[in-house]
Amino acid sequence: MSEYIIGTEGLTKRYRDKIAVSDLDLQISRGEVFGFLGPNGAGKTTTILMLLGLTEPTHGTASVCGFNPTTQPLEVKRRVGYLPENPGFYEDLTARENLGYIARLNRIGEDRIDDLLQRGLDQVGLANDANRPVREFSRGMKQRLGIAEVLVKEPEVIILDEPTLGIDPDGVTRLLDLITDLQRERGLTVLLCSHLLHQVQRVCQRIGIIVRSRMIVQGSPDELGKAILKEHQWNFLVEVGGDHPMEEALSALPGVDQCEARDAGWFIRCTRDVRPELMTLIRDRGLDLLQLRAEDPTLEEIYLKYFREA
């Protein structure tokens, strides 16, 4: 487990009659941006709380930066920056004052504080608003201030719980770019928690999908694609010459799950490779095959499939 900066084995959390996280094996390498994806109530926040030592696992173990969060929570908190779902600030203090407070709380030396705060404010694009009280901040600005607070600790790992919630598209793009920069410039490891696949997909090297307390798949976006192909999911785009209704015949082919008109042809989703039967069908009808193209499922399709199955 120790080769990973974050690792868990059989991590489980039960609340009375409710299992929130079940038998979780998570491996995150140093310097990686890992997307932790799952619908509401899947167990993402509970997992994070266990990684930070803020709640105790019922079974299993976790290791973060080489420490056990349950028995060595201070060691973990010193190295991990955490942005909770709803970060709180001192609303009457300015952004800079809030950051200064956090820096002193984390025992950053006075001689370094000014530089560190300025760097954090610059990095999240709040330099021009640094001296405004936080109560005047928009949601997106507060979220960025939350990230600056996380950075002021100079962490090895940052854990962001739904950081894009309630932020406009431009703000989301800036935040995701910031995550990429942090990884590149500081070699930070990032655990990014979200239920929005298309956001996570852009910045993560690996993704884990958790549904109803269980991690159902983890790997690079490519590996997830291959996993689903292994389960015999084939998509084809078919186009024939002339104006021939084909939908019924295509849907009737054994193994075709779904058939819909797309562009000048049909898009069929199948549980097996139906190309031989398809060719026979087209030849028997005396039609010209203009196009037959296999399409890889998109990550979006994979995600929805796993969500539906769970």
Q: State the residues that interact with Mg ion by CB under 5 A.
A: 44-45
Q: Is 289 helix (H, G, I), strand (E, B) or coil?
A: strand
Whether the CB-CB separation of 289 and 279 falls below 8 Å is answered with yes
208 binds, among Mg ion, ligand ATP, none (CB under 5 to 8 A by kind): none
Nearest to 123 by CA among 48, 208, 184, 38: 184
40 belongs to the binding site for ligand ATP (CB under 6 A): yes
Do you know the residue count of the chain?
Answer: 310
Taking the least distance from each CB to ligand ATP, the nearer of 116 and 211 is: 211
189 binds ligand ATP (CB under 6 A): no
Q: Which of 2, 3, 18, 169 binds ligand ATP (CB under 6 A)?
A: 18
Q: Which C-beta is closer to ligand ATP: that of 51 or that of 134?
A: 51
Candidates 45, 143, 189, 218; binder of ligand ATP (CB under 6 A) is: 45
Name which position in 42, 134, 240, 282 contacts ligand ATP (CB under 6 A).
Answer: 42
Q: How far is the CB of 162 from ligand ATP (least distance, A)?
A: 6
Helix (H) or strand (E) holding 119: helix 110-123
Q: Does 20 bind ligand ATP (CB under 6 A)?
A: yes
Answer yes or no whether residue 192 interacts with ligand ATP by CB under 6 A: no
The span from the CA of 128 to the CA of 141, in Å, is 12
List CB contacts of 61: < 8 A, sequence separation 6 or more.
Answer: 1, 8, 9, 10, 11, 68
Pick from 76, 35, 71, 83: nearest CA to 52: 76
Binding stretches for ligand ATP (CB under 6 A): 15, 18, 20, 38, 40-46, 195
